[in-house]
Structure 1
Amino acid sequence: MRKFSRLMIVISHEGDEASSFSASVVEVTNGDNTVQVADFETALHMLPHKSEVNVIANGTVGNMAIHNIARIIRDSGVLVSLDLSSVRELNKVYDSPFKDNQNLISINFPQNITSINNQAFAGCKNLEHISIPASVQKIGAKAFDGCEKLVVLEFTDPSGWYFKKENGDIVPVSNVNNAEDNPYRFTLPSSPYRNFELQKVSDAQRANVV
């Protein structure tokens, strides 16, 4: 599998009203070599099938742009680590655009995103790593259902975050590696995160936390 060091996308402007994804500059960097290409879709399609590449988005990115980025990644045949941590104006991603995306292997969100939808990444069978910023207050049901390879769920600020066990108990996410608290990690040959729910627990609710 061929790995490329960086595919960087610099976005001049993109809002929810726009019907297409556009970038002011698209650069493909492999080692010390950098070339500019016409657009993001062209950049991915010029790479070998199943190669791995880092995609970095900068600038103002709206919900429609995210849907188009997800579509381009899904149709590309390239395995993508998507870094959205530097984008602006992205508070919530609607309608789960990454659902069933077989080419997404990791994703980082911007610090101002507040929620992750139900089934947001359901069926992303190659997703291995996801970073949750401190701004996120809600993660929807079955957000990671079917994410067979997801082994790293990283919280910038894990305080207040718990996962719900089958018996209804809620356990701090810091205990996700504990066999007693999370037997899925030790009995399933795949992701420990696909069969439980994550929730933000208020101070008033913490009296019931095990």
Structure 2
Amino acid sequence: MAGFRSLAYQVRDARNDRALRRHSLRRCLERFAPYGHRATWWHLCDRHGIAPEDRAADPQRLVAALEELEEARAVWLEYERQFAERRRREKYHGLRRPEWAWGGSGDAVVRCADPGVRPDGTLGEVLRRLVAALESEPGTGCPVCGEQELLWPAHGPGHRRGPRAGHRAWEGAWAWDGPVCAGCGIVVPRPALLDAVSVADPASAGAA
């Protein structure tokens, strides 16, 4: 399976036809899509003048979109590297803290609840704001746009129905997810929020 760098090379390779270069850019999003695959693709298309369904898009626009994605990926990889180093030091000194780093593929680092509603700015700018929030004291608003109105879904991904109803909401892979920002539309990571804000989660309140 091709990695991100190999796919990025295919996007830049002028020997490839336009359809392959576009396809390679879409496949890059399988390796890193900070808003989720569809929302990230729509973001890149809007910013760089690419029609989402155009299989013969201008190669220069495709490369510009790739460069924005690469910048954002570099921001996040550096955060993960520094986080891992800090955790090693803390463990060496016997400090135990919740391991709130995103766990792997880069999918939906700052997921958009609605792919059509996304933050302003480049992907790199948005991730820098998120990283700054995660490295600071938790707050009460959106770490990306500062909006104070945060909307908890009545039935989030962790609000279980059926045989497992009654288990706490937001378990497992969804533990990172908090409320949806009413301003920029991101699903706010719980580590960026004060505990008092997280208590406002109706699912958490119901489980208490």
TM-score bucket (shorter structure): under 0.3
Higher relative contact order (CA 8 A, sep 6+): 2
Q: Give the number of the structure whose residues are more often helix, by fraction.
A: 2
Tell me the TM-score normalized by structure 1.
Answer: 0.25
Tell me the TM-score normalized by structure 2.
Answer: 0.25
Q: Give the number of the structure whose residues are more often strand, by fraction.
A: 1
